[in-house]
């Protein structure tokens, strides 16, 4: 079906029963399907994996590679609007779909997020501060770096996530060795920051350019993977205002349509510095499923369908605790099932599992959302759930 258009050329709202499409069958696609279906939409997922989490709940699963022309054309025939659930989908696939369908986000916006060097440039051009950095494309670039970039972090320019493709380097010599270990692919060297804590902001921007933002979540990472996100009012209002303003500015600068997450460092002097962005819903926004009237996934569907954006105020203090595959193994490496009854015995908890076929260490298997009447009660409940699962205190 094709999208109807209003007089000004803007797509008319898609009625319930229309088809929405998503490239990617992971857990973010699964939660998008569930949110869109709750609003009465049908969803088609394109993913090559026959047992992918989103494919199990979608109304149609198109088994094809993300750049398969026939699969993409099938998706376009079926759906009036399409999105993606991960940033490494081929940007040209979204560009192809956008020739005949609403595509949120655009292939151009996704292409920016796929390259850390392009991403840093775009963030800066939006007037948003970033850490001092330099492009590293050869050993000579390492030698030419200013001393102020050490100690720093050397990151591959493409395809790095959850701490992968990143090496901390204390000196120029360590940077040379790290660049060799990363096989000499294009990299970016960023100066380490005097970090106080990390936050992220999820933004939704519609087809007319109207945008809303959620309050910043305060994030804790372990081994480069997000472990805990908390929204309890502990981020000072001036810091929250800076971060939300920066995220909205970046979305406007990109002429972004869809859901965007921007991660920030909060420095010891109170400055807010952008780290990176994700052109999709984000782990740190999972708390919105239970902690806000409208979740980040429903916002994604609303943008695609041309519907008004929803409210973003928290209903009460909330947190998201990430569940990795390590929890499915005891200290001796034997497989076990985590104590879900114990988790759900803690008041204010909701369990979200992704229906992945196999638990593996460091694999994202689900999350627990936790609500409290106030920040103190929320922290107490986070500690209780962590104790049940054998996780370290946040």
Q: Which residue pairs from 210-215 have beta carbons closer than 8 angstroms and sit at least 24 positions apart in sequence?
A: 210/309, 211/248, 211/251, 211/252, 211/309, 212/299, 212/309, 212/310, 212/311, 212/312, 213/244, 213/247, 213/248, 213/312, 214/285, 214/288, 214/292, 214/296, 214/312, 215/240, 215/244, 215/312, 215/313, 215/314
Residue linked to tokens 């997020």: 113
Which residue in 276, 298, 118, 127 sits closest to 204, CA to CA? 298
CA 222 to chain centre: 17
What CA–CA distance (Å, rounded) separates 219 from 250?
21
Residues 6 or more apart whose Cβ sits within 8 Å of residue 155: 116, 165, 166, 167, 187, 188, 189, 190
What CA–CA distance (Å, rounded) separates 285 from 350?
15
Residues 6 or more apart whose Cβ sits within 8 Å of residue 393: 383, 386
- Helix axes of 237-253 and 116-125: crossing angle, nearest 10 degrees: 110
What CA–CA distance (Å, rounded) separates 70 from 46?
11
Write the DSSP symbol of residue 105. S
What CA–CA distance (Å, rounded) separates 381 from 349?
8
Which residue in 252, 149, 267, 130 sits closest to 198, CA to CA? 267
Note whether 186 and 135 are within 8 A (CB): yes
Known binding-site residue numbers: 116, 155, 160-166, 198, 221, 275-276
What CA–CA distance (Å, rounded) separates 167 from 190?
11
Known binding-site residue numbers for ATP: 116, 155, 160-166, 198, 221, 275-276
User: For residue 369, what are its two tokens?
Assistant: 């959302």
């Amino acid at each position: 079906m094709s999208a109807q258009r209003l007089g000004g050329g803007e797509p008319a709202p898609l009625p319930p029963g229309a088809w929405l499409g998503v490239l990617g069958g992971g857990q973010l696609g699964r939660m998008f399907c569930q949110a869109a279906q709750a609003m009465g939409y049908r969803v088609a997922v394109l993913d090559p994996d026959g047992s992918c989490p989103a494919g199990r709940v979608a109304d149609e699963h198109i088994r094809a590679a993300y750049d398969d022309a026939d699969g993409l054309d099938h998706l376009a025939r079926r759906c009036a609007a399409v999105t993606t659930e991960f940033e490494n989908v081929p940007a040209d696939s979204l560009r192809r779909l956008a020739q005949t369908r609403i595509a949120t986000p655009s292939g151009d916006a996704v292409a920016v997020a796929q390259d850390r060097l392009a991403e840093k440039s775009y963030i800066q051009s939006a007037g948003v501060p970033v850490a001092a950095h330099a492009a590293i494309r050869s050993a000579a670039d390492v030698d030419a770096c200013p001393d102020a970039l050490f100690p720093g972090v050397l990151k591959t320019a493409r395809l790095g996530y959850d701490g992968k493709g990143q090496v901390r380097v204390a000196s120029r010599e360590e940077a040379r060795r790290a660049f060799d270990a990363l096989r000499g692919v294009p990299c970016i060297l960023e100066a380490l920051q005097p970090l106080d804590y990390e936050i992220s902001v999820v933004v939704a921007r519609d087809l007319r350019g109207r945008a809303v933002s959620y309050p910043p979540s305060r994030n804790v990472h372990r081994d480069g993977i997000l472990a805990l996100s908390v929204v309890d009012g502990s981020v000072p209002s001036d810091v929250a205002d800076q971060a939300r303003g920066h995220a909205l500015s970046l979305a406007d600068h990109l002429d972004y349509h869809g859901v965007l997450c921007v991660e920030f460092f909060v420095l010891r002097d109170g400055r807010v510095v952008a780290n990176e962005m994700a052109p999709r819903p984000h782990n740190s926004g999972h708390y919105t499923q239970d902690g806000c009237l409208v979740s980040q996934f429903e916002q994604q569907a609303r943008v695609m369908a041309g519907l008004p954006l929803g409210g973003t105020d928290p209903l009460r203090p909330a947190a998201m605790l990430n569940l990795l595959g390590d929890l499915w193994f005891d200290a001796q490496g034997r497989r076990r099932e985590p104590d879900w009854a114990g988790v759900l015995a803690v008041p204010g908890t909701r369990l979200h599992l992704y229906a992945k076929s196999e638990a593996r260490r460091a694999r994202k298997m689900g999350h627990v959302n936790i609500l409290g009447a106030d920040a103190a009660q929320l922290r107490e409940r986070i500690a209780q759930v962590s104790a049940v699962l054998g996780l370290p205190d946040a």
